[in-house]
Structure 1
Amino acid sequence: MEAAGLGLTRIIVSAVLGGVLGLFIYLYTTLFLQPRRLQSKLRRQGIRGPPPSFLFGNIAEMKKIQLHAHSTATKDHDSIAHDWPFTLFPYIHQWKNQYGPIFTYSTGNIQLLCITDPEMVKHISLSTSLSLGRPSFASKERRPLFGEGILSSSGSIWAYQKKIIAPELYMDKVKGMVNSMVDSTTIVLRTWENSVDNEEGVADIRVDEDLRRVSADIISRACFGSSYSQGKDIFLKLRTLQKIMSKGFLYTGVPGRRHLPSKNNREIWRLEKEINMMILKVVNERIGAQHGEKDLLQMILEAAKSSSSHNGKPSMDINSDKFIVDNCKNIYFAGNETTALTASWALVLLATHPDWQARARAEVLEICKGRLPDADMLRRMKTLAMVIQETLRLYPAVAFVARETLQDMKFRDLSVPRNSVIWIPVPTLHHHPDVWGPDAHLFNPERFGNGIQGACKIPQAYMPFGMGPRTCIGQHFAMAELKVILSLILSKFSFSISPAYRHSPAFNLVIEPEHGVNLIIRKVP
């Protein structure tokens, strides 16, 4: 009996020691060997970068470079210059100058192959392989915000989601949404008219928060058959979640950080749970009402149902509730935040360039002739399209395009090992003088007079909606929405920069005005 007990003890001890040894080998391989192997393969091709430290990579050096850049930057917030990428992401530009246009650096144990060479970006963007997908860390580190929805998934599950969602955002469907966009915008602009009337013809209005409300209402009506008032709490909580998660951006990849019960993580977990429950409540109300309208939510519901019944199901299992929640969160975030920000930046640029404001207004008034804009009118607004495209160049909402090689791949003469994260800083490409000319930091919508192809030397270096097969499927929707919002504002108001405005672009997972956007607004005579 005693011998049997001793034998059992030895088995348990051996199992524990084996488990500990296995965990050690796994961590050693994941945190040390794999990153070093990737670095070694790239180094043999002449790709260099700052030496990383164990566990934290180059985070300490990145923070040091940022701190120095902020301490030496001009503090004149009244001056509106567009060279913000050099102060917001100074480590990118320092290492680009030090190691060349293609270099490596790491955050935690995530190795990034940073590419600022426009020709290399062109070749990567032309790849249609499903082996070039979203980085696996995106669905882990950004799980509370995106889950495994269309923005963060890869491979067959991404292709399946795109097949469902993309047709609902094709141009023919977008045309039918224009009236709803006009209605949503008009509601908010009436409050501006009241403010101007109450302030004797001139009002100082913070417009960015109102534009978020407009955009939220548009995406709610167009895609979910509801209004902003019904989804208000979801949008507000997503916004709060975004702000909290942006605080840890530099620490992406630090092992175990997102699992620690820190104050921020506890708040993230709470918000994630609440948002998921709120979305499911909206979904259940839709199911209970037997809503027959074929909007985007209905298509997502039908796709979730068909996948669970093994009809047209991709190669992996799909959890219906998770599938619905993740894609709703993706659409809520992408359809609201990025468009509202672009509209805000466009108003800043038009307010500081009254000649272009007058030119865009004249076009709108000529085309609309006192009527509300429709799809055909939007199509003819060429000057406004140029303004929007230039805004997206100078202030792209998304700062980085990230891809992961799911197998060994080759782009031109560069062999990229499997599991490499390709990291493309969009603002760097959008401000590259070799691509855009010596006026790359200036607001000049005229450069888009002949479209994107004629605007720069390498059109693939222009990527406000991403690149390649994963280009944003909602770009037609976004452009129509921006034209509606801006054309209605231009037709009703003239505007200039408020003394309260402080120009300080900030990175909170998207590029946004840190202190909001205040404008001095008057009615157009």
Structure 2
Amino acid sequence: MKGGHQSFNVLLSIFFSVIFLVVVSWMLKILYSLWWKPKSLERYLKTQGIYGPPYKFMYGNMKDMMELCQKVRSKPIGLTHDIMRRVNPLFHQSMIDYGKVFLNWLGTTPQLVVMDQKLIKEILTNKYGDFLKMEITPSLKLLSTGMVVYDGDKWAKHRRLIKPAFHVEKLKLMLPAFATCCDELINKWEKMVSSTGSCELDVEPELKILAGSVISLAAFGTSFKEGHRIIELQMEQSQLFLREYQIRKSIISRLFPSKESKRRVEIYEEVRRLLKEIIEKREKSAGTNNDDLLGSLLESSRNEENKYSNSNTLTMEDVMEECKMFFFGGQETVSDTLTWTMIVLCMHPSWQEQAREEVSQVLGNRKPSFDDLSNMKLMTLILYEVLRLYPPAPLFRRTRERTKLGKFCLPANMQIMVPLIFVHRDTDQMGDDANEFNPERFSEGISRASKDQISWFPFGWGHRSCIGQHFTFLEIKMALATILQHFSFELSPSYTHAPSIITTLRPQGGAQIILHKL
């Protein structure tokens, strides 16, 4: 008996020793990933002259960033275009403290924030694949993948197959759909002002509906009702993704799935179901239209079974991912830019009148043609300047492996962010009036608007520039020209100037504008 007890005690001692070693090993790994590794990397980058707000245990700079953003969002600013300290107060202070290149921490993940034009040019024009798009994580897959986040051969294949859908001749065929959606908006607004000749409304949701209608009808040949639900779900998905991205390095968020995580999966499944219905409806219809984006995507996917033509086909999964991205991105960019353009033209009524005069001279009372929109030079300058001051979103890249950037040597898989709202306002490049609205700075072209030709790039730059930018400009010009034909507009006294990054740069409290019938 005694020997049995001794054996049991030995086994129990070994068991607890193993448990102890496992726990200690686990704790050391956690300590390594949450403290030692980030601090070591912080020291390494400091030796190269890269500084930034100090890393804080587990959360990095995220808590500070969110607290500062909540503080500045509690009150609006005056009618100024100097909005950097409100949109991202941590970056604004870091730029003052550390210069145009500094280190930020997304939890335990290092992020290099780059505002130096020479380094930006090196990143965006690199042809060796050293700087990749966002990592395709399980979380990102729930939102959308598609060409926007692909790299290498897969990106090249998708771009080659999708590019014909945005050819000039295809865009011309989409104009009637643009005009139909714009007419619906104008008719709605005319009814609202019919009794008094003017009315106040928040144009932001109105322009979101317009952009959603256009992307639904022109790019996918479906009704706004069908497309709106997908856009609505993708908007919710993007907000959930952003929140998860901000807290993704929390141990709790990794170990225990939240209600938001479950909701993200539900949205993913519902969007797929809705897209399948649209695709099946298109495939069953006689005389399928290949002139829009969906038609071009489906035309490629039909040869999917041909093993000899894989380089010239997209799978149905590819088609669905591209649709998700264009439904969301196509609406956001257009509606945000149109909203800020109306706000800015209210802030600068003389430019609004000049734009209206140009529309009147080019169009009179008729609907614009493709050539008409191309001939609206002043409107182009205005849109360039609005996109300079209010770009929709920053650019993101990451290093594939240990990579040289200028004089720096960056570790593999390091996040890189280019905050356009800061870069576009660089006084060294744009001059002392960088925070002022001056469309004439683009009168001799984009490359001459600044000292360095890569100081304006809301749609990216080089071979990775946005494939849909001509579609976007055409849609925005059509909408703005139609609005200027029928209305003048001014800011409502209830409008508060509060630009904020939500998923994109938007007016926090909406865009309250008073419309006047012409």
TM-score by length of 2: 0.89
Aligned length: 504
Q: Is the 8 A contact 2:489 2:515 kept in 1?
A: yes
Residues 308 and 320 in structure 1, CA contact (< 8 A), matched pair in contact too: no
Q: Deviations over 1:211-268 (max 9, x none)?
A: 1111111112222111212222112222233334344453244457367432322322
For residues 92-129 of structure 1, the C-alpha deviation after alignment (integer angstroms, 9 at most, x for no partner) is: 12222222321112112321011122222122222223
Change in 2 beyond 3 A, CA 1:509/1:210: same
Structure 2 Cα separation of the partners of residues 273 and 361 of structure 1: 45
**Partners in 1 of 2:374 and 2:314 — Cα distance?**
40
Q: Does 1:230 align with 2:237?
A: no
Tell me, in whole angstroms, the C-alpha distance in 1 between the residues paired with 2:493 and 2:150.
44
One of 197, 201, 223 as aligned partner of 2:197: 201
Q: 1:457 aligns with which of 424, 427, 451?
A: 451
Q: 1:468 to 1:362 in 2, by over 3 A?
A: same
Q: Which residue of 2 aligns with 1:448?
A: 442
Report if the CA contact (8 A) 1:201-1:522 is conserved: yes
2:62 equivalent to 1:82: no
- 1:118 match: 117
Stretch moving more, 403-412 or 107-116:
403-412
Looking at structure 2, the residues matched to 363 and 139 of structure 1 have their Cα atoms a distance apart, in angstroms, of 47
Residue 477 in 1 paired to residue 475 in 2?
no
1:242 to 225, 235, 238: 238
Matched-pair contact (CA < 8 Å) for 1:122–1:458 = no
Separation (CA, whole Å) in 1 of partners of 2:404 and 2:303: 37
CA contact (8 A) 1:141 1:252 kept: no
Counterpart-to-counterpart distance in 1, 2:246 and 2:20: 35
Establish whether residue 432 from structure 1 lines up as the match of residue 430 from structure 2.
no
Post-superposition offset of 1:333: 0.8
After TM superposition, what 4+ stretches of structure 1 lie above 6 angstroms from structure 2?
Answer: 15-30
Matched, 1:354 2:349: yes
Q: Note if contact 1:496-1:521 (Cα within 8 Å) is conserved in structure 2.
A: yes
TM-aligned CA distance change 1:175 to 1:416, over 3 Å: farther
CA contact (8 A) 1:505 1:511 kept: yes
Determine the structure 2 residue equivalent to 1:343.
338
Counterparts of 2:185 and 2:433, CA distance in 1: 36
Q: What residue in structure 2 maps to residue 192 of structure 1? A: 189
Q: Is residue 424–residue 456 contact of structure 2 (8 Å, CA) maintained in 1?
A: yes
In 2: Cα distance, 1:68 partner to 1:363 partner: 42
CA gap of 1:111–1:306, structure 2 versus 1, over 3 A, is: farther
Counterpart position of 2:143 = 145
* Greater mean deviation of Cα atoms: 469-478 or 48-57: 48-57
Contact 1:407 1:419 in 2 (8 A): yes
Is 2:49 the partner of 1:49?
Answer: no
Distance in 2 of aligned mates of 1:17 and 1:305: 59
Matched residues in 2 for 1:474 and 1:152: separation? Answer: 15
Structure 2 distance, partners of 1:282, 1:35, is 47
Q: Are 2:516 and 1:522 aligned?
A: yes
Q: 1:501–1:277: structure 2 CA closer, same or farther, 3 Å change rule? A: same
Aligned to 2:162: 165
Which of residues 291, 296, 309 in structure 2 aligns to 1:299? 296
Partner SS for 1:459: coil
Identity %: 29
Deviation at 1:498, TM superposition (A): 1.4
Partners of 1:127 and 1:468 within 8 A in 2: no
Deviations 1:298-321 (A, max 9, x none): 332344454564344369xx9944
Q: Of the two, which has the highest radius of gyration? A: 2
Q: Which secondary structure does the structure 1 equivalent of 2:397 belong to? A: strand
- C-alpha root-mean-square deviation of aligned residues, in Å? 3.1
Alpha-carbon deviations, 1:353-409, whole Å to 9, x = none?
1100000000011001221101100111011001111110111111x2111121333
In 1, Cα distance between equivalents of 2:287 and 2:36? 54
- Which amino acid is the alignment partner of residue 360 of structure 2? L
The answer as to 2:507 corresponding to 1:508 is: no
- Note the C-alpha offset of 1:188: 1.2
Distance in 2, matches of 1:18 and 1:307, equals 53
- The verdict on how the C-alpha distance between 1:83 and 1:461 changes in structure 2, with shifts beyond 3 A counting, is same
**Aligned pair in 2 of structure 1 residues 160, 41: CA closer, same or farther (>3 Å)?**
farther
Q: Cα distance 1:32–1:153, how it changes in 2: closer, same or farther (>3 A)?
A: farther
Equivalences for residues 319-334 of structure 1 within 5 A: 320-334=315-329
Query: Runs of 5+ in structure 2 lacking a partner?
Result: 1-14
**Partner Cα distance (2:449, 2:427) in 1:** 12
TM-score normalised to structure 1 length: 0.87
Range that drifts further, 504-513 or 360-369: 504-513
Contact preservation (8 Å) 1:407, 1:417: yes
CA contact (8 A) 2:52 2:103 kept: yes
Cα deviation code 1:266-303 (max 9, x no counterpart): 32222222112111221122223355211321332344
**AA aligned opposite 1:339:** V
Q: Which has the higher mean CA deviation after the structures are superposed, 54-63 or 35-44?
A: 35-44
Structure 2 vs 1, CA of residues 284 and 253 (structure 1 numbering), >3 Å: closer, same or farther? farther
**Corresponding residue for 1:380?**
375
Q: Which stretch shifts more, 443-452 or 476-485? A: 443-452
| 2:400 corresponds to which of 375, 398, 406 | 406
**CA shift digits 1:466-504 (9 cap, x unpaired):** 233221111111111111000000011111111232221
1:7-18 superposed matches below 5 A: none
Report the Cα offset of residue 66 of structure 1.
Answer: 3.5
Match of 1:461, SS state, is coil
CA distance in structure 2 between the aligned counterparts of 1:106 and 1:171, rounded to whole angstroms: 43
- Candidates 411, 414, 417, aligned match of 2:411: 417
Residues 491 and 60 (structure 1 numbering): CA distance in 2 closer, same or farther, change over 3 Å?
Answer: same
Determine if contact 2:104/2:110 at 8 Å carries over to the other structure.
yes
Distance of 2:68 and 2:364 partners within structure 1: 53
Decide whether aligned partners of structure 1 residues 273 and 415 sit closer, same or farther in structure 2, where only a CA change above 3 A counts.
same
* CA distance in structure 2 between the aligned counterparts of 1:328 and 1:179, rounded to whole angstroms: 21
Please point out which of 364, 387, 402 is paired with 1:369. 364
> Matched residues in 1 for 2:409 and 2:455: separation?
21
Give the equivalent residue in structure 2 for 1:132.
131
Most deviating of 255-264 and 45-54: 255-264
Distance 2:416 2:475 in 1: 31
Q: Which amino acid aligns with 2:115?
A: T
Paired residue secondary structure (1:292): coil
Equivalent position of 1:102 in the other structure: 101
